[in-house]
Each structure stands twice: as C-alpha cells, then as structure tokens.
Amino acid sequence: MSAEPIVVDLLLIGAGPVGLYGAYYAGFRGLCVGVLDSLPQVGGQISALYPQKDIYDIAGLPRIKGQDLVDNLVAQAAPFAPRYILGSEAEILRRDGDELVVTTADGTSVRSGAVVITAGVGSASPRPLPCGEEFLGRGLHYFVPDLSTFDGKDVVVVGGGDSAVDWALAAVARARSVTLVHRRQQFRAHEHSVARLHESVCDLVLDAEVGKLFADDAEQISAVEVCRKGVDTPKRVDAQVVVAALGFKLNLGPIASWGLTLSKRAIVVDPAMCTNIPGVFAAGDITTHAGKVKLIAVGFGEVATAVNNAAVTINPDLGLSPGHSSDAPPPGSDQFAVSTAATI
Amino acid sequence: MAFVIGEPCVDVKDKTCIEECPVDCIYEGERMLYIHPDECIDCAACEPVCPMDAIKPAQKVTDDWQPFQQAARQVFEEIGTPGGSFNVDDALTDPEFVQEFEK
C-alpha cells in the first residue's frame, strides 16, 4: 500500500509485449513512464500462456521464443528506466485537473499526463475453489510466495496443471503430508514434473473433487472432504494449508466501468489510438476499430501511434513525430547485441 | 479467428476444455459446448486437451466442421459477449442444426 502517489508523464496499463514496447517509445520521447500490471510479472499473455512457444510473425524476427521476445522488449526499454508497478490491478481511472489518476486495488495511486491502456484481454484472477472461497487467508491460498507456509503442515493441493504439480513438489520437501486432488486421471502438466510427482511421497487422489472444507475453533482450515468418482463415502483429509491451483480467468475487470466506449468488450479507438476519454489512449488486443486484426505486430504499431500522440497531449510543444532513432541511440545501447540474419 | 468445436463433442460434453481456457470463452449448450468466436484469444490451450479431438482452429475447418462454426456464431446471437461462461447461469439453447444433428 503506497501513501504517496507515483507521478509519471505517461502510464501504460498492461505490461505485455505491447505495453513494454510502449514504454520504450515513451522513454525515447523523453517521457517519464510507468507500466502497471495486475500480475507480479511482465510479459502479458506471452509469459503467462506460452513463454516457450516459437513465434514466427514478429517483423524482423523470423523465429523467436515468446519469453525471449519479452526479455528483448524489457532490455529495449531499460535505458529509459521505466517504473514497473506490478501485482496491482488498476481499479479506478479519473481526471483531476490536468492529470489522470489511476488507483489500484491495493491503494497505489499513479498520476500522469496521459494513459495508454495496453491491457490485452484483461487482468488475471485465480479461478476460485467452488466450496471454499471464504477460507482465503484462513488456510486457503492461490499462490504461496513464501514456501515456509508449508513447513510441518498437512497440505492439500487442488488442480491438475503445471501450477498444481509444482506446488505439490515444492511442498513435499517441507510439509508433514501432501495430498493432490484432481478431477481427472490425466494431468495437464509437463511429463517430467508428473513423473517426479509419482515418485514423490505426495498422495494422489485422482478422479476426485474437494467437496467441503472444515474449520477448527479458530476458523482456520482443519480438514478437507474429497469426493471420488464412483465411491459413495467421501474421504476426509486433515489439512491446514490448501492450495487451489485451478488456473486463471482473464477478465476486462474494472476497465469495463471507466466510461470507455466499448464494442464487444474491446475499447473503441480512433486512428490516433485515442479513446472517447481525452488523454486516454489504447493499443493492442484490447482495442477495436475498423479492420482491426489482433496481432502482436499490429499492437506494436498501435502503441507507437498511441505514445507519440499522447506525447503531444502531455506537452504540446513536442512534435508528433519522434525523429530517427539512429539520431539518438539510447544510453547504454552500444552494449546491445547486434541482430544479424546469421544469429537467428 | 477462434477455435471451433465439432461433431465429436455432441452428446459427450467432456468439459476438460472449459477448465483449460484462460478466458472462460467456452460455454455449455444442451448437446455440446461452444467456443465464443469473439472472446477466443487463439491461445490454443483447449485443442490438445480434448479427449474426443473435437476442437479445430478456424483456419483448418473442413466441410463437415463448417456448420458447427456457423452454429457457434448463431448460439451467441441473443446473449452477445457475456465475457465468460462464469457469467451465464443456464445452458445455451442449441441452434437448430445441433438440435437436429444425428451422430
């Protein structure tokens, strides 16, 4: 929670590939830039959904792994020291005189001259455990940033993907007992991790779902009731820590309530990438306009348009065009690896 | 462009795809599941997990899949873009093609 507002010239909401490229351009225009994301990491859909996948349609890069593209974008913006504000979902957007103020769910406030919304498909929230949401903070977790949470406890992990398997494996080394509960027989995780799971002391309860959570006198989780397919009597498992790793839901979230003109849950923009709210621009998958195609390549073009137009909004003395980047190589760019066809 | 669920889903509705979809764009109908053509983000997470091999990308839709692609547009005509099957309580009404489909 931050009491002092963060003040920047331009704020990008969404730190996926398009937001990151926007940060580079804002820096190149001499603007002080902030980049906000609801996730604790940058990289947007790429890093969250397909970091290891090869991408073939990025201009100038015949083939590049998702996460490598993200890392390159971070490096490209780095000389301009963007301020990354991660793990905070933007909740409110309002105008205060010359400035726009964005407030996040955890109370952080960012003031800027202009905002570019590069939020892709929205913010990610963990898929809830159907029977147990009220136990969040009382033994139920979606993430376990501090692994000592597992120490000496009876742990139940729910889910069948990479996250669930990874949490179970992390817990095995430290917990008193670990049980993994999954709806199917088959896992959706890397074969190698699943093999390690089978070899570990983790108790696997498959074709099963968590039906109920029980609390002790202090209202903390004390046990979990598991219902197995084809078995009448539910199984009761002692647990003080339950990790629900059921995947994410991506949702437009609070952005849908900011008074932006939307069409089919996308933000309508004009050729300058401006929304119906003065000073608020948008770029990337979250936008819609005549002929819109949702590609990273298109998003890159849109965010360059948005940032350069936003620059004029922030400082009318600035020209719309940034000039040639080769006339002003960023500080430290002589250290950048030179890309040649031979290195691809 | 979106992905399209076809014939192998009809009267099966395994729903593993629904668990996998990060944007919750797979909705339940009466006889089959439907991927929302405007909400799908083409992440392809659903395609490999379907035990019936019922999911194809729109670019690879064959003649036999084509009517299912149309059905996936029709089924959302009334409700538009709800932004996730979590926001829809009841099963969607199958378009006529799916209602009358004989496996």
User: How is residue A46 annotated by DSSP?
Assistant: H
Point out the residue among A122, A247, A264 whose CB comes nearest to the CB of B19: A247
pLDDT at residue A8, as a whole number: 98
Point out the residue among B20, B41, B81 whose CB comes nearest to the CB of A188: B20
**DSSP H or E stretch at residue B3:** strand B3-5
Point out the residue among A45, A247, A248 whose CB comes nearest to the CB of B41: A45
Contact B30, B10 (CB under 8 A): no
Alpha helices, DSSP H only, in chain B? 16-20, 66-74, 96-99
Min Cα separation A264/chain B (Å): 6
**In chain A, what residues touch B83 (CB-CB under 8 Å)?**
251-252, 256, 265
Token reading at A120? 């892709």
User: How is residue B92 annotated by DSSP?
Assistant: B
Q: Chain B interface, mutation test: which of A127, A250, A285, A293, most B Cβ atoms within 10 Å?
A: A250
User: How is residue A342 annotated by DSSP?
Assistant: G
Answer yes or no: is B102 within a domain. Answer: no
For A285-329, give the DSSP string: TTEE-TT----HHHHHHHHHHHHHHHHHHH-TTS-SS---GGGSP
- Mean pLDDT for B15-38 is 93
Q: Give the dihedral of Cα atoms A305, A308, A309, A312; nearest 10 deg.
A: -170
Fold held by A133-246: FAD/NAD(P)-binding domain (3.50.50)
**Domain range holding B52?**
3-82
For residue B81, the chain A residue with the least C-alpha distance is A264
Domain layout of chain A by residue ranges = 6-125+249-343, 133-246
Please give the distance of CA A233 from its chain centroid, rounded to a whole number. 40
Q: Chain A interface, mutation test: which of B25, B27, B43, most A Cβ atoms within 10 Å?
A: B43
Contact A280, A119 (CB under 8 A): no
Answer yes or no: is B13 within a domain. Answer: yes
ipTM: 0.74
Q: Are B43 and A50 within 8 A, CB to CB? A: yes
Q: Are A264 and B41 within 8 A, CB to CB? A: no
pLDDT at residue A3, as a whole number: 66
**In chain A, what residues touch B73 (CB-CB under 8 Å)?**
none
Token reading at B28? 């339940």
Point out the residue among A49, A122, A184 whose CB comes nearest to the CB of B43: A49
**In chain B, what residues touch A285 (CB-CB under 8 Å)?**
41
Answer yes or no: is B96 within a domain. Answer: no
Min Cα separation B86/chain A (Å): 9
A6-125+249-343: CATH class? alpha beta
Q: Chain B interface, mutation test: which of A187, A188, A295, most B Cβ atoms within 10 Å?
A: A188
Q: Is A44 helix (H, G, I), strand (E, B) or coil?
A: helix
pLDDT at residue A344, as a whole number: 43
Please list the ranges in chain A whose pLDDT falls under 50. Answer: 1, 342-344
Residue A134: phi and psi, rounded to 5, are: -70, -10
Q: Total structural domains in chain B? A: 1
For residue A125, the chain B residue with the least C-alpha distance is B22
Q: Identify residues of B whose CB sits under 8 angstroms from chain A CBs.
A: 16, 19-20, 22-24, 38-39, 41-43, 45, 49, 80-81, 83-84, 86
CA atoms of A334 and A174, how far apart (whole Å): 46
Q: Are B41 and A252 within 8 A, CB to CB? A: no
Q: Chain A interface, mutation test: which of B14, B15, B16, B19, most A Cβ atoms within 10 Å?
A: B19
Answer yes or no: is B91 within a domain. Answer: no
pLDDT at residue A60, as a whole number: 96
How many other β-carbons are positioned within 10 Å of the β-carbon of residue A38?
23
Min Cα separation B43/chain A (Å): 7
Q: Chain A interface, mutation test: which of B23, B27, B77, most A Cβ atoms within 10 Å?
A: B23
Q: Among A120, A159, A154, A122, which residue's Cα sits nearest to residue A143?
A: A159
**In chain A, what residues touch B38 (CB-CB under 8 Å)?**
264-265
pLDDT in tens, B31-84: 999 999 999 988 888 998 899 999 999 999 999 999 999 999 999 998 998 888
User: How is residue A206 annotated by DSSP?
Assistant: -
First CA to last CA distance, chain B: 27
Classify A179 in phi/psi space as left (phi over 0), alpha (psi -120 to 50) or beta: beta
Say if A251 is an interface residue toward chain B (CB within 8 Å).
yes
Q: What are the start-end ranges of the E strands in A159-218?
A: 177-181, 203-205, 208-215
Q: Among A169, A219, A158, which residue's Cα sits nearest to residue A195?
A: A169
pLDDT at residue A339, as a whole number: 63
Alpha helices, DSSP H only, in A173-234? 191-199
CA atoms of B16 and A245, how far apart (whole Å): 15
Answer yes or no: is B95 within a domain. Answer: no
CATH of the domain at B65: 3.30.70.20
pLDDT at residue A343, as a whole number: 44
Residue A5: phi and psi, rounded to 5, are: -70, 150
CA atoms of A55 and A66, how far apart (whole Å): 6
How many other β-carbons are positioned within 10 Å of the β-carbon of residue A108?
20
Q: Taking CA A313 as the corner, what is the angle to CA A310 and CA A317, rounded to the nearest 5 degrees? A: 115
Min Cα separation A249/chain B (Å): 5
Q: For chains A and B, count residue pairs whose Cβ atoms are closer than 8 Å.
A: 46
Beta pairing, strands A208-215 & A221-228 = antiparallel
